[in-house]
Amino acid sequence: MDRLSALEIFVTVVSEGSFSAAARSLGMSKSAVSKHIAALEDRLGVRLLNRTTRRLSLTDAGALYCERANRLIAEAEDAEAEVSQLSSAPKGVLRLSAPLSFGIRHLGPLLPAFLAQNPGLTIDLKLDDRLVDLVQDGFDIALRVTTLTDSSLMVRRLCPSRVVMVASPDYLAERGIPTEPADLKEHACLVYSNQTYGLEWRLVEAASGDKLTVRLGDSRVRANNGDILRFAALQGQGIAILPTFFVGEDISSQRLVRVLPGWEGISNDVCLVWPHARYTPAKVRAFVDYMVKALGGGTPPWEDCPSLSRGLPPSQG
């Protein structure tokens, strides 16, 4: 008989505790099970089981072999399940979580093409800025904009999410252009209220990588949503620090311009996370592959403009 079948018979005998019980579980005769175990021991040249009239027990060699056998059987089952997924089209409901603003701006436009490629799938999308528990809340996968850390989840990074300071040309014409981070204390700053460090901005110098924490002065607007801060910046209410996926198009059109272009906020990653499993469901794998092609090719689409690398031209100051 083949080796994998021999492993399965052996571990069944061990788990059931007797040849008779294993035979019933496997749909074989007791004598056939006994012959297979004897043949396995002959091939290995060691005794795996101590047999008495009342019970079976593992020898030291049998205990080691049983541990390895269980592992090999599990890996074989995983391989079969994963390969079978490759031949089956994704189907069912994909329960997906994403941040509100990013979901509306950049995920939503990508979904129609994904659904067209996967006609057997339905998407149940929940937009929420809170960090959901995928397992407890029943999500298959989540898109997150975060700093990647060690996690019990499977993670696939898609692209960076840079954070830059911006203001309208009208605001800078009226209040002046900051030339160093300390100047921010003299400006109206627009603050994201969900951040844990209050009226401070944590900055990184692009050239050196040096980090700096700046205590802000006047904060005219505080909000727990980036779109509100973007709108306030567009209306000339102050300087905002926002991810480029919010303001990339505004910078490209010069509705907003970068402030202190040599400095940025702490960057994050746009990534996908999903629960660990023996194999990744076809619907999750299909979504991951699609998003990698859409956003994982280097520079994300919202940064595809030269203006992001520079600030306000001197002539406009």
Same domain flag for 136 and 174: no
CATH number of the domain bearing residue 167: 3.40.190.290
Which residues contact residue 136 at a Cβ distance below 8 angstroms, ignoring those fewer than 6 apart?
none
* Band (16; pLDDT cuts 50, 70, 90): confident
CATH number of the domain bearing residue 114: 3.40.190.10
Please give the DSSP secondary-structure letter assigned to residue 193.
T
CA 146, 151, 152, 153 torsion-angle sign = positive
Same domain flag for 168 and 33: no
CATH number of the domain bearing residue 61: 1.10.10.10
Rounded mean pLDDT, 243-267: 93
Yes or no: say if 218 and 137 are a contact pair by the CB < 8 Å rule: no
The pLDDT score that the predictor gives to residue 278 is 67
Same domain flag for 204 and 284: no
* Band (48; pLDDT cuts 50, 70, 90): very high
Yes or no: say if 194 and 225 are a contact pair by the CB < 8 Å rule: no
Same domain flag for 124 and 192: no
List, for residues 123-143, the tens digit of each pLDDT value: 999 998 888 888 878 899 999
List, for residues 139-163, the tens digit of each pLDDT value: 999 999 987 665 678 899 999 899 9
Percent of the chain, pLDDT > 90? 56
Nearest to 93 by CA among 112, 120, 66, 129: 120
Rounded mean pLDDT, 262-288: 88
Domain of residue 49 covers 3-86
* 102 SS3 class: helix
Which of the pair, 122 or 279, is modelled with greater confidence? 122
- What is the helix (H) or strand (E) element at residue 210, kind and residue range? none
* Band (178; pLDDT cuts 50, 70, 90): very high
**d(Cα 260, Cα 172) in Å, to the nearest integer?**
12
Q: Tokens for 246? A: 């919010």
Q: Is the pLDDT of residue 82 over 80?
A: no
* Band (63; pLDDT cuts 50, 70, 90): very high
The domain boundary, picked from 86, 116, 131, lies at: 86
Count up the domains in the chain and report the number. Answer: 3
Yes or no: say if 12 and 50 are a contact pair by the CB < 8 Å rule: no
Same domain flag for 239 and 202: yes
Same domain flag for 239 and 148: no
Which residues contact residue 307 at a Cβ distance below 8 angstroms, ignoring those fewer than 6 apart?
251, 252, 254, 257, 258
The pLDDT score that the predictor gives to residue 314 is 37
The pLDDT score that the predictor gives to residue 247 is 94
* Band (311; pLDDT cuts 50, 70, 90): very low
The pLDDT score that the predictor gives to residue 150 is 58
